[in-house]
Chain A
Amino acid sequence: MDVRGWTYVLVGVTFALYVGIAVWSRVRSTAGFYVAGRDVPPLANGMATGADWMSAASFISMAGLVSFMGYTGAIYLMGWTGGYVLLALLLAPYLRKYGKFTTSEFLGDRYYSQTARVVGALCTIFVSFTYIAGQMRGVGVVFSRFLEVEVETGVVIGMVIVLFYATLGGMRGITWTQVAQYAVLIVAYLIPAVAISWKITGQPVPQIGFGATVAEGTNAGRFLLETLDHLHRELGMPAYTDAFVPGKKGMLDVLAITGALMVGTAGLPHVLIRFYTVPSARAARWSALWALVFIALLYTTAPAVAAFARVNLIQSLHGVAVANVPPWFESWEATGLIGFDDKDGDGRITLSGDAQRNELRVDRDIMVLANPEIARLPAWIVALVAAGGLAAALSTAAGLLLVISSAISHDFAKSWLAPGLSERRELSLARATAAVAVLIAAWFGINPPGFVAQVVAFAFGLAASSFFPALVLGIFWKRATREGAVAGMLAGILFTATYIVWFEYVSPASAPEGYWLGISPEGIGAVGMLLNFAVAIPLSLATRPPPVEVVELVEEIRLPRSREV
C-alpha cells in the first residue's frame, strides 16, 4: 500500500476512535460539560494536558524551528516546558481547591469584582481564538499534503469531527479523546525519531544519539554536534551550538522570550482549566507532574530530531548536482515547501550563510513532515506522522473551544446577563456556543488572517501580562485588592499590546533596531508581567484591604482539604 492508502486507513481509524469515545462519554450536566465531572484520574489528565498543550506548532513546526535556530531554539524548548513548574507550584492545586468552572470566575470572586471577571473572560476569548485559527489551518494543511485534497476540504472534515465530540461530550468527551490523541501523537513522533537516530548515530534513543558520534560517511566517529558546527562554519553560518554570536538573538532577548513563554504557559486559560477536572488539590499536583513527563517526552526528542534533520539536509543536498537530487526532494518541491534557485548557474545546489549566494529555500515544517521520507522509512510510518499531526491540532482546538464556550455561557450569560438561567438551558447554550465557535474557527482556518503567526506572540504576551500576576497575587497575598489587580492587569495588557502592535503593524521598518533593550515583541510579555506586579502591589497597599469573606476564601483555598470535613 502507498502513503496515501495508509494515510486514509490510519486517519480513518483514529477518527472513528475519537467519535466512539465521544458517544461513550456524552454528558448531561454543566459540571460534566465544563470540568468533566471532576473525576479524571491524574495520569489520564496528564496525558490529556499533554495533547491539549502540544499543538500543530509543537508537533509540526518546532523541530524545524530549532533546526534553523540552533542554540537559540532553547527559547521554545525551555519556555514551553518551564511554565509547568510555575503551574504545579503556584497555581494548579489552589485553583482546583477553589473549584467552580472557570479561571475568570476565580478572578471575579477573589477580587470581589464583576469587572475583573469580564476582563478575564474577554482575554480568554481573544487568546483562545487567536490560537484556534492556527489549529484549524494545521488540520487543513496536513490533509492537503498527505491526502491531496484542498485545504478547505481538510478544514471542514476537521471541523465536523471536533464539532461532534466537543458539543456531545463537552469536557468529558474532550478529555478522553485527548488521552487517545496523546497516544497517537507521541507514537507518531517517536517512531521516526528513533529510526533516524538509529540511522545516523547507531543509537536508538534520540536523546542519547543527539550527543553520540556519527556512524558512517566522511564524518564517521566524530560527534554529531561537532560535525554540525563544522558544517555550519564551512558554509559561512554561525556554529549550531554557539549561543550569542552575530546572526543569533542577544542574551537579554533570549531571557525575555523564555520568560514570557514560561509565564504565558502558566496563564493560558485552556491549560489552567485542565486542572479543574481532577478530584482534589493533591491530584492536581500529581497531574501537573504527569503532564510535564508526557510533554518532556516530545520536547527532549524535538531538539535531537532538529540536529539529525540539519545534518541530513546539508549532507544530502549541499553541492549535489540537480540531476542527482534524492526523490523526496522532487515530491516536496511540488508542495512549495522546498525550493532551489541556481543563482551561480553551475547546476549544483549551494547552501550558504550568505543570502546572496544561498540557493536552497526550506520551509521549517518540512523537517518533521518529510523526515521519514528523507530517512527512507516505510509508507505506514509516513502516514502515521499525518495522523499524529491531526491528533495534535484537533486536541488543542477542542480544548480551546471549550474555554471559549464556558467563557460565554458561564462568565457572560449565567453570571452577568441572565443570572436566572436554569442548568439545562445553560448546558444547551454551552453546546450552541461551542458549535458557533467552531464555525468561526473554521472560517479563520480557510481564510487565515495574515497576522496568525504574530498573534501567537500576542496570546502568550497577554496571558503573561494579565492572568499570571493577578492569579499569583490573589493566592499568595491576602492584601491584594480589587483596585490593584484590575489596574495591574490593564497596565500589563496595554503596555504589551502597544509594544507588539507598534513593531508588528505600525512601524515594522523600525524593527529590530528600535527594540527597547533589544527585546523583541515575542518577549515583551515578560516586561508586561513585571509592570503588572509593579502597579498592582503599591496600589493594593494604598487602597482599602479586601473584605473579610475574601480573606477567608484565600485561607480556604490554601488548604488541600475543605474545612467542614
Chain B
Amino acid sequence: MSEANPQRRGYWRANVRLMALLLAIWAIASYGLGILWVEPLNRFQLGGFPLGFWFAQQGSIYVFVVLILVYALCMDRLDRRHGVD
C-alpha cells in the first residue's frame, strides 16, 4: 500500500471516507439529537415519547447498530473489489 501502489491507496482512501461519513452520523445521532438538540426535539412526540428523549434512550442505540451493520457490509464489498479479502 505504499505510494507505488495506487490500488491499495484507493482501498485505504475509500475506507477512510466511509468511516468519516459513518462517524459523522454517529456523532449527530448521539451528541446532536440525544443531547445538544434534545430540548427543542422534545416539543415533538413519537407515539408516547418526547422525540429528544426517545433518541437519548432508544433511537441512538438503534442507529449505532445500523452503522456497524452498514460498515461491515460496505467493507466486505470494498475488500472484494480491491482484492484484499
Contact = CB atoms under 8 A, between A and B. Distances in A.
A84 B2 CA distance: 30
B68 A78 contact: no
Contacts of A242: 42
Contacts of B62: 296, 300
Interface string B60-72: 1110110111011
Interface string A152-186: 00000000000000000000000000000000000
Nearest to B25: A85
B64 A77 contact: no
A73 B57 contact: yes
B35 A82 contact: no
Contacts, number: 133
A254 interface: yes
Contacts of A561: 79, 84-85
A243 B55 CA distance: 12
Q: Which of A207, A210, A243 has the most CB of B within 10 A?
A: A243
A303 interface: yes
A226 B71 CA distance: 37
* Interface magnitude class on chain A: 35 or more
A293 interface: yes
B41 to A, nearest CB: 10
B77 to A, nearest CB: 11
A90 B19 CA distance: 8
Given A89-B23, A243-B39, A560-B79, A289 B48 contact: no
Given A84-B64, A90-B19, A78 B30 contact: yes
A450 to B, nearest CB: 32
Contact of B49 (A225, A286, A292, A559): A225
Contact of B85 (A82, A207, A213, A560): A560
A251 B39 CA distance: 11
Given A210-B58, A212-B48, A251-B35, A293 B53 contact: no
Contact of A300 (B16, B30, B58, B69): B58
B53 A71 contact: yes
Contacts of A74: 34-35, 56-57, 60
A259 B35 CA distance: 11
Interface string A72-91: 01100110011011001110
Contacts of A77: 56-57, 60-61
Given A89-B19, A211-B54, A282-B85, A292 B35 contact: no
A258 B30 contact: yes
Contacts of B23: 85, 89
B12 interface: yes
A262 B79 CA distance: 28
Contact of A82 (B36, B50, B60): B60
Given A223-B48, A241-B50, A285-B71, A207 B64 contact: no
Contacts of B34: 74, 78, 258
A258 B35 contact: yes
Contacts of A81: 60-61, 64
Interface string B12-44: 100110010011001000110011101100100
Interface of B: 1-2, 8, 11-12, 15-16, 19, 22-23, 26, 30-31, 34-36, 38-39, 42, 46-50, 52-54, 56-58, 60-62, 64-65, 67-69, 71-72, 75-76, 79, 84-85
Interface of A: 66, 71, 73-74, 77-78, 81-82, 84-85, 88-90, 93, 207, 210-213, 223-226, 241-244, 251, 254-255, 258-259, 262, 282, 285-286, 288-289, 292-293, 296, 299-300, 303, 476, 555, 558-561
